[in-house]
């Protein structure tokens, strides 16, 4: 179970006194479990500027008009254009009663916040809820096995833990690239960003649509906030 591994590694981190370890470059790993998900402090990636691409209403298109290259980093807030039911499924357009950030808001109902994230500032998708999803058009330059690093923060401690998964769209069919990834409690008050490192993801080459699917809130009120996900070739 991925969840068990994360909890185990989290406990191991605390035991090793590594919970406050700061990663500064890309993917400096604080602890590892060769067979599954590991967790470490999120690295800092500068965020790209806002797009100047003008999409055709209702048609799915990548945020910048061209796909994101993989290997590389996908910023969660730069999901595809297209709108509800096309490039995302947004179920809480009241944004859970909270106000998003004007710097980040795309005016489509997805709750984007602006956060200071361990030394830099950037936009993140917040207050997702189960059965929501967001899609990203990418161009996989090299087929093969990747480790995917998801940068998350989660301030709810309740069990069971919430989950999400990464999928690839085959037409209208979502094909799982990961199993459910369990999101551990990282710290209150939602400021301590961690990276969930998921190895062994098989990617085919070429332009394709990826989906982050929020599969369960668990005992929490949300699967948590996500800043970016990064593909590293193994």
Cβ 108 to Ca ion, closest distance in Å?
10
Of residues 10, 38, 42, 75, which one binds Ca ion by CB under 5 A? 75
Q: Which stretch binds Ca ion (CB under 5 A): 32-40, 87-95, 165-173, 174-182?
A: 87-95
Cβ 123 to Ca ion, closest distance in Å?
5
Q: What does the DSSP assignment read for 155-198?
A: ---PSSPPEEEEEEEETTEEEESS-PEE-----TTS---EEEEE
> Which residue(s) pair with 226 in the sheet?
125, 152
Size of the site for Ca ion (CB under 5 A): 6
Per DSSP, 78 falls in state G
Residue 79 or 185 having the CB closest to Ca ion: 79
In sequence order, what are the residues at sequence separation of 6 or more whose Cβ sits closer than 8 angstroms to the Cβ of residue 170? Answer: none
CB 159 within 8 A of CB 220: no
- Contacting Ca ion within 112-141 (CB under 5 A): 122, 128
Residue 46 or 57 having the CB closest to Ca ion: 46
Cβ 127 to Ca ion, closest distance in Å?
5
Residue 122 or 199 having the CB closest to Ca ion: 122
Of residues 80, 105, 135, 227, which one binds Ca ion by CB under 5 A? 227
Residue 95 or 141 having the CB closest to Ca ion: 95
- Pairwise CA distance, residues 72 & 158, whole Å: 33
62 near Ca ion, judged by CB under 5 A: no
230 alpha carbon, distance to own chain's centre: 9
Instruction: Name the strand (E) or helix (H) holding 21.
Output: none
Q: Which stretch binds Ca ion (CB under 5 A): 15-23, 159-167, 178-186, 224-232?
A: 224-232
State whether the Cα torsion 183-184-190-191 is positive or negative. Answer: negative
- Write out the residues near Ca ion by the rule CB under 5 A: 75, 92, 122, 128, 227-228
């Amino acid at each position: 179970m991925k969840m068990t591994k994360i909890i185990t590694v989290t406990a191991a981190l605390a035991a090793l006194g590594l919970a406050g370890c700061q990663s500064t470059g890309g993917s400096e790993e604080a602890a590892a479990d060769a067979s599954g998900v590991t967790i470490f402090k999120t690295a800092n990636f500068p965020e790209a500027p806002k797009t100047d691409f003008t999409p055709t209403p209702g048609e799915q298109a990548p945020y910048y008009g061209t796909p994101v290259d993989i290997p590389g980093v996908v910023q969660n807030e730069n999901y595809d254009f297209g709108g509800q039911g096309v490039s995302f499924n947004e179920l809480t357009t009241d944004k859970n009663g909270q106000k998003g950030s004007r710097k980040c808001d795309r005016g489509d109902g997805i709750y984007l916040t602006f956060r200071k994230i361990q030394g830099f500032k950037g936009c993140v998708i917040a207050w997702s809820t189960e059965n929501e999803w967001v899609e990203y058009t990418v161009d996989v330059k090299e087929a093969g096995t990747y480790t995917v690093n998801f940068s998350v923060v989660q301030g709810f401690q309740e069990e069971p833990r919430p989950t999400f998964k990464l999928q690839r769209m085959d037409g209208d069919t979502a094909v799982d690239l990961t199993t459910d990834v369990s999101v551990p409690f990282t710290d209150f008050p939602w400021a301590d960003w961690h990276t969930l490192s998921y190895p062994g993801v098989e990617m085919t080459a070429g332009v394709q649509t990826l989906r982050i699917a929020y599969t369960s809130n668990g005992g929490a009120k949300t699967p948590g906030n996500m800043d970016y996900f990064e593909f590293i070739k193994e």
